[in-house]
Amino acid sequence: MGSTCERCNREFGSNEALQMHNQSKHSESVKKNQFSPKQKRRIKNCAYIMVALGIIVGAFFIASNIKTLPPKDMQGHIEQSPPSHIMKTPMPIAIHKHMLEHADGEGRPGVIINYNCEDYVCEEGFIEELERFAVKYPEHVYIAPFPRMDAKIALTKLNQQKILEEYDEEMIDGFVR
């Protein structure tokens, strides 16, 4: 079971002998290592960097696509009520959560209507319409801006939320009741 050199047709008794012959007589046909150890290290390091960058970019992409909405649970609430049912500044999150438990610290659970006129176009009189609506339910409805929210209007009560892109009094009234 010998081996034959394809270049010079010599017969060899083993594959090892053929390999040695090819290395000494036909070295240009023997595959050499394409990369030095230093180059291999560089390639390996570049691969690690590319994987790390891929993970970072993927995490950023995922994080940037998470919607920002008001909370609809009570976890982390404080026993404090907001100064008013109609607020011109954002309601602190811990107080927001407490109002979901019970309006003004007692009684029925609250409903919070948040709006975002920083990132969405709010028609003239939009905020006033929301405020007039809240006056119809003075015991448990709150109105407050929520900047950077990923919705124009968010209706929130304990463990429930409805997102609206336009003022719709019937829909808001149905959610509140």
Tokens standing for residue 82: 């907001």
- Domain ranges (residues) in the chain: 1-32, 34-66, 93-176
Beta partners for 144? 114
Instruction: Classify domain 93-176 by CATH number.
Output: 3.40.30
Report the chain's C-alpha Rg in angstroms. Answer: 35
* Per-residue pLDDT tens over the stretch 54-108: 999 988 887 776 778 898 888 888 888 899 899 999 999 999 999 988 877 677 8
Whole-angstrom Cα distance, residue 154 to residue 147? Answer: 12
Q: Does pTM top 0.95 for this prediction?
A: no
